[in-house]
Amino acid sequence: MALIVKKFGGSSVATPEKIFHIVDRVLKHKKKDDQIVIVVSAMGDTTDDLVALAKKVTSHPYGREMDRLLSTGEQVSIALMAMAFTEKGHPAVSMTGPQAGVESSDAFGKGRILDVKPERIFKALEEGNIVIVAGFQGITDTGDVTTLGRGGSDTTAVALAGAMKADVCEIFTDVDGVYSTDPRVTDRAQKLKEITYGEMLEMARLGAGVMQPRAVEMGSRYGVPIHVRSTFTENPGTIIREDYTMESNQHTITGVADDTNVAKVALVGVENKPGVAHTIFQALADATVDVDMIVQSIRTTDDERTDIVFTISRDDVVLAKETLDKLRQTVDMECVVINEDMAKVSIVGAGMLGQPGVAAQMFGILSEEGINLEIISTSEISISCLIAENRVKDAVKAIHDKLCLDGRN
Amino acid sequence: MALIVKKFGGSSVATPEKIFHIVDRVLKHKKKDDQIVIVVSAMGDTTDDLVALAKKVTSHPYGREMDRLLSTGEQVSIALMAMAFTEKGHPAVSMTGPQAGVESSDAFGKGRILDVKPERIFKALEEGNIVIVAGFQGITDTGDVTTLGRGGSDTTAVALAGAMKADVCEIFTDVDGVYSTDPRVTDRAQKLKEITYGEMLEMARLGAGVMQPRAVEMGSRYGVPIHVRSTFTENPGTIIREDYTMESNQHTITGVADDTNVAKVALVGVENKPGVAHTIFQALADATVDVDMIVQSIRTTDDERTDIVFTISRDDVVLAKETLDKLRQTVDMECVVINEDMAKVSIVGAGMLGQPGVAAQMFGILSEEGINLEIISTSEISISCLIAENRVKDAVKAIHDKLCLDGRN
């Protein structure tokens, strides 16, 4: 007997036929006493369609009402999937995020899961049901639905698996595992058999679309093994776990990630006095704008003024603009320039620790390609560079093929 | 200052443009201290589209999962309308049926409102908001959403108005009031200035689509004046209240209604023993099939067997078939014949009391038209006949023009 949480994304449930495909597959592999919880996203392009609809009505497509609107997509897919299981003869019940006990913060549009109380799920499982849970949503302490932001359904699945002490959380996706880089960029990309939470977290944070960082972090915190695998084939995918098993080779560099959902914000000629940076980034944090890379440069010719450059998600550009406009009433700056044609390319690998030459190698490769670096940032197991978006594929291919394949082929 | 509940149906909120039309109209008429609660249905054909989607997945498109699916339609429209008010500069919040305190029975697909606890609405109104509530849905004591069946949004609006002691409940619709009969059937149909709850209840129960019987009943119970009026014009419509005001003339017959959502079920050759009718109708009631007209006839040549004929809504045909199939394991009958080409035509009027000739006049008119009566049923203020569906318009026109216009033109 195993307790398994399975998550299917929007493209896997886009049509009734695809829903039945999943139902058949789940029933085929389910052992008699297995307990199965399935987390699903909204069907196909539903979420995008709802966003487009909202934009016809409001110039502020976020907040409480937006979350109410978006959360309907998953309610449709869980109801249909529960009906499909019942139609195939297996009892099933659907639960919204709130019904599944997913409690979230009230940061609408990017709620964070604060707690999961899965009692109702356990009860339904004990009654013999397969339980279908709406991903991407939780309930605040005032009873409102919040959506959990990008990749929220992955986070829901891993959080449930953690709270329920599931044996494994399977993330079904349209790729068949985690690759050393995007296989569409270079045909030399390799599927990884295993990857650590830490490495996956960096890969995800830096743009590898296959898993969201928050979900990986949640898996790490609760020690839930995550199996990233294909909806369309039955091949094993990539296991994300705490440590490599002995048989797995660890490489210096696990993979190359890129992220084009990046906007560069330059605050030019900001008054240079103590506390200014704190004021600016606190205001952005209060507006729930996530800031990524930050550079502050002191002008050599004018030490009264400084330039502050940082990156944010393109989704947050409107919010950031509004926040900065308000801020300019109290903080003096010459101008704000927002640039949406940037991208970030990163290398990740726990094996980079203690190998100081890797950063230099990466910069050298980019230089050979004639690619300019705007910002560089590093963590213990990653190095990221902000470059022009139109060069990102060249950058990924060059770095991957020259660095990642060391000692593998 | 007035507390007003306004209800807008699906066709009134079918597009973002129509939503803004409503928003503009509400804001134009709102006095400074007025408190406004708006109940909305799902946009346009959303509910039909969701039903069609469910039918691709299940052969049993009803129950808990179906209600979950259908309840999403209203969540979309309330979110968009709240956004639209905010966009036009007036604070607004949306609430689902559960958030608005609408508690319902667990008869999925046809939940009944058991109680309304509008504290959260009052709080939001006091904070200066217009409150937008999802019609057609409530929450059971186990925390599941139930839909309230046909016309459920009208019922939601009147129930809220009753629980909140609103000054009036305005039902906006695509006709400009209650007519003596369907104006599409005869151009001599007249708009009624006023009608009593009792008369409206019969009109609605008997098929006048403009208001649902349950909503009228709720209005009667709580004494809420209901104003049925047009979404598209600003003319006054029809007021439904307890008694006529002095200036209004009361006629013998208020109106003629017809209902084509009728199926005739004939149980042929049922064993004729005590308790059989009870067994049959209890089983149908347990399956939540509403039975309307009932006739039982004893065969003159075979008193071992009886024929039982009754009518149900066409929506319940699948459910009734399943129930009767199961029942035939215990109750002996020769065959079940279900006929979906029937319709019901009815006359309604409090003034019929003590005017025994009216029924005879109605039968006479139908006879002149060559229309056969299959079942007749009467109440204190109505008479209904089951006839062939393809003759229903002729019947309504003939009865209306010959009976209703007495003393009016």
Res B251 pLDDT > 80? no
Half-sphere exposure of A344 (CA within 13 A, CB side): 30
Closest CA to A96 of B144, B227, B101: B144
| Phi and psi at residue B123, to the nearest 5° | -60, -45
CATH of domain B262-339: 3.30.70.260
Q: Which of A68, A77, A85 to mutate to test the interface with B (most CBs of B within 10 A)?
A: A68
Interval B389-400 mean pLDDT: 94
The neighbour count for residue A196, using CB atoms within 10 Å, is 19
Interval B145-165 mean pLDDT: 93
Nearest CA in chain A to B76: A69
* CATH class label, B3-173: alpha beta
**Smallest CA–CA separation between B176 and chain A, in Å?**
27
Instruction: For residue B143, list chain A residues with Cβ-Cβ distance below 8 A.
Output: 99
Facing residue for A59 by CB, picked from B66, B71, B87: B87
Q: What's the CA gap between A197 and A257, in Å, rounded?
A: 15
Which tens digit of pLDDT belongs to each residue from B273-286? 888 888 999 999 88
Q: What's the CA gap between B352 and B202, in Å, rounded?
A: 13
Task: Report the pLDDT value the prediction gives residue A247, as an integer from 0 to 100.
Answer: 46
Inter-chain residue contact B69 with A76, CB threshold 8 Å? yes
Instruction: For residue B96, list chain A residues with Cβ-Cβ distance below 8 A.
Output: 68
Domain B343-404 has CATH 3.40.50.2000: no
Facing residue for B68 by CB, picked from A20, A68, A75: A75
Paired strand residues for A338? A265
Task: Report the pLDDT value the prediction gives residue A407, as an integer from 0 to 100.
Answer: 44
Q: What's the CA gap between B113 and B217, in Å, rounded?
A: 12
The burial of B358, by beta-carbon neighbours within 10 Å (0-12 exposed, 13-18 middle, 19 or more buried), is given as middle
The DSSP line for B24-76 is HHHHHH--TT-EEEEEE--STTHHHHHHHHHHTT-S---SHHHHHHHHHHHHH
Residue ranges for chain A with pLDDT beneath 50: 246-248, 406-409
Which tens digit of pLDDT belongs to each residue from A103-155? 999 999 989 999 999 999 999 999 999 999 999 999 999 999 999 987 899 99
Task: Report the pLDDT value the prediction gives residue A245, as an integer from 0 to 100.
Answer: 58
Confidence of residue B407 (pLDDT cuts 50, 70, 90): very low
**Smallest CA–CA separation between B172 and chain A, in Å?**
21
Taking the C-alpha atoms of A235, A241, A245 and A251 in order, what is their torsion angle to the nearest 10 degrees?
A: 90
Closest CA to B248 of B350, B170, B172, B176: B350
Facing residue for B72 by CB, picked from A57, A76, A87: A76
A186 or B379: which leads in pLDDT: A186
What value, to the nearest 5°, has the Cα angle with vertex A136 and ends A243 and A142?
115
Inter-chain residue contact A93 with B64, CB threshold 8 Å? yes
Task: Report the pLDDT value the prediction gives residue A127, as an integer from 0 to 100.
Answer: 97
Domain boundaries, chain A: 3-173
Inter-chain residue contact A86 with B54, CB threshold 8 Å? no
Encode burial over A272-293: b for 16+ CB neighbours within 10 A, e otherwise. Answer: beeebbeebeebbeeebbebbb
Which tens digit of pLDDT belongs to each residue from A184-193? 888 888 899 9
Instruction: For residue B99, list chain A residues with Cβ-Cβ distance below 8 A.
Output: 143-144
Angstrom distances, CA of residue A382 to CA of A199, A254, A260, B182, B185: 8, 10, 17, 73, 76
Q: Which residues of A lie closer than 8 Å to B, measured between beta carbons? A: 16, 19-20, 50, 53-54, 56-61, 64-66, 68-69, 71-72, 75-76, 78-80, 82-84, 86-87, 93-94, 96, 99, 143-144
Half-sphere exposure of B317 (CA within 13 A, CB side): 14
Q: What is the mean pLDDT of chain B?
A: 90
The neighbour count for residue B400, using CB atoms within 10 Å, is 25
Q: What's the CA gap between A358 and A360, in Å, rounded?
A: 5
**Smallest CA–CA separation between A339 and chain B, in Å?**
28
Say what percent of chain A tops pLDDT 70: 95
Nearest CA in chain B to A21: B57
Nearest CA in chain A to B59: A87
The DSSP line for B73-102 is HHHHHHHHHHHHHHHTT--EEEE-TTTTTE
Q: What's the CA gap between A95 and A134, in Å, rounded?
A: 6
Inter-chain residue contact A68 with B54, CB threshold 8 Å? no
Instruction: For residue A106, list chain B residues with Cβ-Cβ distance below 8 A.
Output: none
Q: Which of B58, B90, B99, B117 to mutate to test the interface with A (most CBs of A within 10 A)?
A: B58
Q: What's the CA gap between B39 and B94, in Å, rounded?
A: 10
| Phi and psi at residue A357, to the nearest 5° | -75, -10
Inter-chain residue contact A83 with B60, CB threshold 8 Å? yes
Domain B3-173 shares a fold with domain B343-404: no
Q: What's the CA gap between A77 and A134, in Å, rounded?
A: 8
Inter-chain residue contact B86 with A60, CB threshold 8 Å? yes
